[in-house]
Amino acid sequence: MKESKFNTSKLVKMAMMTALSIVLLLLIRVPFPPAPFLVYDPADIPIYITAFAFGPFEGLIVTLVVCLIQAFGLGGDGLYGFLMHFVATGLVAVVIGSIYRRNKTKKTALISLVIGIVVCIVVMCFMNYFVTSAYMGVDRSVVKAMLLPTIIPFNLIKVGLNSLLTFILYKRISGFLHK
């Protein structure tokens, strides 16, 4: 008999990682001083761990649920916040989950996280240039002027710190996720 992609145990663990992500989102929020509308939170760590443990699709599903709850249930930035968070976090989850599942070593984990960081920063530059300018109703030149001094450093810090913490924590809790 073929095993289902989503067995009960995996669904429960994914729900737990979703809940942990939401708790982290509620507990730790640090505004980025150059632009207080940009806020660091460690909510992506359980999502990245999910992508390592179960794969890119599962990481993307947890990302979707977390983004929906944050944007529409917790007073986030609605559709704009959902779109930006889903693209940024979803990209990293898909990249790291896709690369890591082929060769589950520390070296591959590190390489996948670095590639995820780079891909996220590049794509978020484009997303901010087009989406943020439209959402904020400002000329693209305003957003372009914010890219190097504000948006790129913020994304580097947020994705970089969450990736580093994921790298440190994953092997410590992976045994529980794979039981």
CATH numbers and ranges of domains, the chain: 8-22+42-174 (1.10.1760.20)
Residue 134 or residue 2, greater confidence:
134
Q: Read off the pLDDT of each residue in 96-108 and give the average, rounded to a whole number.
A: 95
- Which pTM does this prediction carry? 0.92
pLDDT of 1 higher than 50:
no
CB 26 within 8 A of CB 74: yes
